[in-house]
Amino acid sequence: MSAPHPAPVPQGDYVPATRHGALIFTAGMTPRLDGKLVHQGLIRKDTPIETCRDAVILACGNALQAARGKLAEGERIAAILSMTVYIAAEEAFTAHSRLADFASEFLRARLGEAGIGSRCAVGVATLPGNAPVEIQLVAGV
């Protein structure tokens, strides 16, 4: 995705990102475009990993855009300190880390080595709106 993402639209009573000093914490972001979930469904053990790339990149792009929305003029994201990737997957699915790699690749392409930080990939039973993935970032300014 080369075009900038529009600002994420909250789906509840929260803000897309919060800043405290030089830290920005994003809400969990799902693969939504203009507030509409464009990818849905549980990821199954036989799901070809590559078919999940667009959903992961859209969710990660939303998280990055939310973080960038907290920057003052002239500031930049100095580092992604932490990323959590939640994956709605059936019990037998085990490629969580491979899906999270799509998000890491996306962040590296946009931020260079500053885009790669600590990360956690977690399998869950469900996500809001039947989203297949949700991504949360902690960024340093």
Whole-model pTM? 0.94
How many Å apart are CA 18 and CA 7, to the nearest integer? 14
Give the helix ranges, DSSP H, for 2-123.
53-68, 96-111
The model's confidence at residue 8, banded by pLDDT at 50, 70 and 90, is confident
Domains of the chain: 23-140 (3.30.1330.40)
What is the pLDDT at residue 124?
A: 98
What is the pLDDT at residue 119?
A: 97
Instruction: Summarize the confidence of residues 38-57 as an average pLDDT.
Output: 97
Q: Which residue has the tokens 């930049």?
A: 76
How many Å apart are CA 60 and CA 26, to the nearest integer? 11
How many Å apart are CA 139 and CA 117, to the nearest integer? 9
How many Å apart are CA 59 and CA 2, to the nearest integer? 14
